[in-house]
Amino acid sequence: MQVIIRPTREDASRLAARLIAKALRAKPSLVLGLATGRTMERLYALLVAMHRDEGLDFSLCRTFNLDEYIGLPPTHENSYRYYMNDHLFRHINIDPRNTHLPDGMAADLGAACRRYEEEIAEAGGIDLQLLGIGRAGHIGFNEPLSALRSRTRDKSLTPVTIAENSTLFKDPTMMPRRALTMGVGTILECKRLLVLVTGESKAAVLARAVEGPITSMISASAIQLHPNCTVIVDEDAAKDLQEKDYYRWIFENEPEWGEFRESN
Ligand code: F6R
């Protein structure tokens, strides 16, 4: 794992956008795993700007989102399908048929989850999976005690997650209590993980995820098991990390970060 600390949320989002753009240019048929949430809004705005201003091409890209609420139709403004259309898909040249989210409206949720895993496998697996970390320590909606080998399935949300996300609903009581999510095992099979965490409210959970013991109590700690994982954070989120000087040294000195140092 590499942890890269950038001064601000804007710098961190810009670096994440540039890494995604670089992966897409290297492989136009990239299978890209996506996340929703507040953290990703600026990143998606930057990708939209790169498409508009630099011709970043999504025409062959296929996407798989981590999760979706159970019981919200795609037309509901709080569904993750709506979020993705609104923040990214309708602003870029992606074929809507190449965009996938778990089907939280399926009559048979178990079958929908199995089908989702099959679709990922048929696409050849996810090349690059974008992740945020929730205050409950989750990646996707893998709440505490999610098995480290879990697959796409339905999950009850914790009170912390409900408190965090219900504020985004016009009527907070309407937030679903359950969601479909890729499992920790599904996420660990992605070829590369790109984790973006910003803001002081995430500092404590980030430190536990990155430098603490691997535990199903903090599903984000499972990223330590992944052989190709980059964690990009801003100074506010990095506040509680113990090895900050080492992480800074890596970004300032390792050749692979050279192109990102000069013009971030
Ligand atoms: C959303 C997802 C979640 C979020 C996490 C952080 O698709 O997978 O794990 O990344 O809850 O959300 P924000 O960015 O709103 O703090």
Domains of the chain, start order: 2-261 (3.40.50.1360)
Mean local confidence (pLDDT), 157-180? 96
For residue 75, the one-letter residue type is: T
Kindly list the protein residues whose Cβ atom lies closer than 6 A to any atom of ligand 1: 35-39, 66-67, 132, 134, 138-140
pLDDT score recorded for residue 263: 63
Mean local confidence (pLDDT), 132-147? 96
Res. 264: pLDDT tops 80: no
pLDDT score recorded for residue 59: 98
Find the 37 Cα to ligand 1 centroid distance in Å.
4
d(CA 179, CA 181) in angstroms, rounded, equals 6
Residues 232-256 pLDDT 10s: 999 999 999 999 999 999 999 999 9
Chain-centre distance for alpha carbon 207 = 18
Find the 246 Cα to ligand 1 centroid distance in Å.
27
Residues 55-101 pLDDT 10s: 999 999 999 999 999 999 999 999 999 999 999 999 999 999 999 99
Closest Cα to atom 12, ligand 1: which residue?
37
Residues 23-39 pLDDT 10s: 999 999 999 999 999 99
Find the 255 Cα to ligand 1 centroid distance in Å.
31
Closest Cα to atom 1, ligand 1: which residue?
36
Q: Which atom of ligand 1 is nearest to the CA of 199?
A: 16
pLDDT score recorded for residue 181: 98
Out of 35-44, 107-116, 135-144, 255-264, least confident range: 255-264
d(CA 54, CA 52) in angstroms, rounded, equals 6
Res. 133: pLDDT tops 60: yes
Best mutation site among 42, 141, 200 for ligand 1, i.e. most ligand atoms within 8 A of its Cβ? Answer: 141
Residues 206-226 pLDDT 10s: 999 999 999 999 999 999 999
d(CA 23, CA 60) in angstroms, rounded, equals 13
Residues 99-116 pLDDT 10s: 999 999 999 999 999 999
Q: What is the DSSP letter of 218?
A: B
Closest Cα to atom 4, ligand 1: which residue?
132
Distances (CA, A) of 60 to 24, 32, 124, 252: 9, 11, 14, 34
Mean local confidence (pLDDT), 119-147? 97
pLDDT score recorded for residue 134: 96
Q: What is the DSSP letter of 181?
A: E
For residue 82, the one-letter residue type is: Y
Q: Which atom of ligand 1 is nearest to the CA of 161?
A: 11
d(CA 151, CA 180) in angstroms, rounded, equals 10
d(CA 137, CA 199) in angstroms, rounded, equals 14
Burial 159-180, CB ≥16 within 10 A → b, else e: ebbbebbbeeeeeeeebbeebb
d(CA 38, CA 263) in angstroms, rounded, equals 25
Q: Which residues contact 205 (CB under 8 A, 6 or more apart)?
A: 133, 134, 135, 136, 137, 218, 220
pLDDT score recorded for residue 262: 74
Side-by-side strand order, sheet with 192-197: 2-6, 229-234, 192-197, 128-131, 31-34, 62-65, 99-100
d(CA 125, CA 117) in angstroms, rounded, equals 9
- The runs of H, that is alpha helices, within the chain are 9-26, 39-54, 80-87, 109-122, 159-166, 184-188, 203-211, 235-238, 244-253, 258-262
- Averaged confidence pLDDT in the chain: 97
Find the 140 Cα to ligand 1 centroid distance in Å.
7
Query: Dihedrals φ, ψ of 62, to 5°?
Result: -115, 140
Mean local confidence (pLDDT), 191-201? 98
Distances (CA, A) of 19 to 65, 89, 226: 18, 19, 18
